[in-house]
Structure 1
Amino acid sequence: MNFQNNNNITKEQGEYDYSIAITRIVGCIMIFLCHYVQITGNPIIAQSSQFFNVGVFVFFLISGYLYGQKNIGRGNVLKWYGKRLVKILVPLYVVMIIIFLALYIENIKVMPMQYLIYALNLQGFWGGISGASQLWFLTALMICYFITPLLQFMRDNINKNVLKVIASIYILLQLAVAIMGSTVLALYMMYIGVYIIGYSVLKYVLDEITTGKFAVWSVVMVLAMGLRITGKILADGTRYYDYIIVLYTQTILAIWIMLAVKFVYQRISDRVNIKLVRKLDGYTMEIYMVHMMFMYMPFCLVGRVNLTVGTVLIIIATVISAWILKKVENILIKNMHNLQLKIKKN
């Protein structure tokens, strides 16, 4: 998959890849924890959010990895774009209609421009609103989808040595942008770069994961985290730490997580509840979309009684809302598909 499950199917060589599905579930849990620890009221626990945020990088890697195994047929680019936009915009619009309505009822002011920003899926550039700030991810994902046909063309038609030069130039540009302080551009170049890594490189990393290969990557990950901690001590708050050290070490950690999940899965696959994995995997997108509504306004459930009760309520509300959102998505997409068929027949 990409984060949106590619029609609820994660495939590798034509078969459902449970290791990727499990990785996506792990990434979803990490994102949930990334936001949850920030509302616990404990500043020490809240610090862990910067590591749980690696779930975002995991999602970009998975998305790129799975689209890298597919081909967009000639003449199908516009159709492919259309399907990707539907998968992004349908859940986005459903969630935002609910949030905008709830904010209005709560008498929380929303700037008129915000409606247009979310309608165009540009919230990643101009900031989010309460309960929907996590949806910046969809802006970045839309850009990744937009460049995917170009990535396929480059993969199929450009010499690998030339691609390495292009990749090196891209990395140098991202570093230069980060050093100059163009933070939004530096972030998005990194997110797109992670998607490209998933698309072009990750299949080689995940192929034949031996104990030795896993050990080497584990050493690399530990060194990266050591650099991360050292950087935080010496340069926390600087652009060098926030937009270079953090982003590159997060990428290494995300790759290691994917590799570790597959390494472990290969050895315990016969003990995995495959039905549960499929079920949970099918709702990762929806859980991501709705969970922050219940941590912040307009449906904040924190502090109603105590943190424990609030946590249980958030989990229950998130699961139920994700289930409802999935049902609504399926109905809307099915109706849109049927309408297209009718138009074609006429």
Structure 2
Amino acid sequence: MVVLLVLHIMTKQEIKVIQWVRTILGIQGFSGVRGAEQTWFITAILICYLVTPGIAYFSDLLCKKTKIIQKVILTLVLFLPALIPFIIGEAASFVTPIVWYFLAYFCGKNWNKIKYAINKSKMIGAMLIIAVMFLLRIIGRFILDGTILYDYVIVVYEHNIVAFCIAEIFIYYFSNKKPTRIVKTVSNISFEIYLYHCMFGVGPIKISDLTRFYSLNCVIIILLSAVIAYIMNKFSDMVLKKI
């Protein structure tokens, strides 16, 4: 946020103090600072943290049920993100993450059982599901872009199902391997990359149209985001140690 504030001042963009305070606190919802709009998701994360005691309570109750009842309830829960947007509209962006968080929390609660079920055939299945979800996302964008069905159902399911599948693939391949130095470094600055990448795409120093080649622009944005993320990660570590 400090980097963005300096850039906004240098480019003489309007500074709304209340908006900046909300963004810094992570409670801005959709009305974030230009170049940091993606941080709306932090609001959803904070809501998930807030309801974690309730999530833990219901997860414990579900763990005590039979496997059949568990599967029925989890299947019903899985359909909720498809219904919620049609009931509460855009506010679903801050509610449906709670559903996915519950599913992830339940998986974590039963991790000792789940990890043994991950095998090669299921890993291949996860790859196929990813391909299908990407195809559905692309087709949906051409036909339904701008509708509730696409923006709040197809996109949300694609994001979350793919995330679960990627996790399954990584668990299969790397569960018994130690991460390399570069993997540790990228993992360590992944959140900072998320925080800074948007300002190069749509923010005060937009470079998404720097060259005629879209792919090259994406590579440049990734590299710049990674460099700044690394610097700011080291700076924040230094500040925390001083504190």
| TM-score higher than 0.5 | yes
Structure 2 CA distance for aligned equivalents of residues 306 and 165 of structure 1 = 51
Counterparts in 2 of 1:158 and 1:314: CA distance versus 1, 3 Å: closer
Structure 1 CA distance for aligned equivalents of residues 181 and 204 of structure 2 = 34
**Partners of 1:131 and 1:294 within 8 A in 2:** yes
Larger CA deviation: 310-319 vs 206-215: 310-319
Q: 2:103 aligns with which of 174, 178, 197?
A: 197
Unaligned runs of 5+ in 2: none
Counterparts in 2 of 1:231 and 1:132: CA distance versus 1, 3 Å: closer
Structure 2 CA distance for aligned equivalents of residues 280 and 328 of structure 1 = 16
Structure 1 CA distance for aligned equivalents of residues 216 and 127 of structure 2 = 37
Q: Is 2:7 the counterpart of 1:107?
A: no
Q: After superposition, give the CA deviation of every residue in 1:179-227 in whole Å (9 maximum; x if it has no partner).
A: 23512x2222222222222211263554442223234444555555565
Q: Map 1:206-285 to 2 at 5 A.
A: 206-222=115-131, 224-225=133-134, 227-228=136-137, 231-232=140-141, 235-265=144-174, 269=177, 274-285=180-191
Offset, 1:137 = 2.2
Secondary structure of 2:51 counterpart: helix
Offset, 1:328 = 2.1
**Partners of 2:20 and 2:32 within 8 A in 1:** no
Offset, 1:114 = 0.8
Structure 1 CA distance for aligned equivalents of residues 54 and 221 of structure 2 = 41
Q: Map 1:111-130 to 2 at 5 A.
A: 111-123=16-28, 125-130=29-34
Q: What is the aligned partner in structure 2 of residue 186 from structure 1? A: 92
Q: Which amino acid aligns with 2:31?
A: G
Counterparts in 2 of 1:302 and 1:201: CA distance versus 1, 3 Å: closer
Q: After superposition, give the CA deviation of every residue in 1:113-155 in whole Å (9 maximum; x if it has no partner).
A: 31231233112x2422222112122222222222223333333
**Partners of 1:205 and 1:259 within 8 A in 2:** no
Counterparts in 2 of 1:232 and 1:181: CA distance versus 1, 3 Å: farther
Q: What is the aligned partner in structure 1 of residue 2 from structure 2? A: 97
Q: Map 1:155-194 to 2 at 5 A.
A: 155-156=59-60, 160-161=64-65, 174-180=81-87, 182-183=89-90, 185-194=91-100
Q: After superposition, give the CA deviation of every residue in 1:278-299 in whole Å (9 maximum; x if it has no partner).
A: 1221111111111222333333
* Higher RCO (Cα < 8 Å, 6 or more apart): 1
Structure 1 CA distance for aligned equivalents of residues 143 and 204 of structure 2 = 38
Q: 1:133 aligns with which of 37, 42, 45?
A: 37
**Partners of 2:35 and 2:200 within 8 A in 1:** yes
Structure 1 CA distance for aligned equivalents of residues 105 and 130 of structure 2 = 21
**Partners of 2:30 and 2:37 within 8 A in 1:** no
Q: Is 2:202 the counterpart of 1:296?
A: yes
Q: Is 2:50 the counterpart of 1:146?
A: yes
Q: Is 2:207 the counterpart of 1:319?
A: no
Structure 1 CA distance for aligned equivalents of residues 143 and 199 of structure 2 = 36
Q: Which amino acid aligns with 1:177?
A: I
**Partners of 1:209 and 1:263 within 8 A in 2:** yes
Q: What is the aligned partner in structure 2 of residue 334 from structure 1? A: 241
Counterparts in 2 of 1:105 and 1:315: CA distance versus 1, 3 Å: same
TM (norm. structure 2) is: 0.76
Q: Which amino acid aligns with 2:200?
A: F
**Partners of 1:175 and 1:186 within 8 A in 2:** no
Unaligned runs of 5+ in 1: 1-95, 337-346
Counterparts in 2 of 1:163 and 1:230: CA distance versus 1, 3 Å: same
Q: Map 1:80-91 to 2 at 5 A.
A: none
TM (norm. structure 1) is: 0.56
**Partners of 2:80 and 2:99 within 8 A in 1:** no
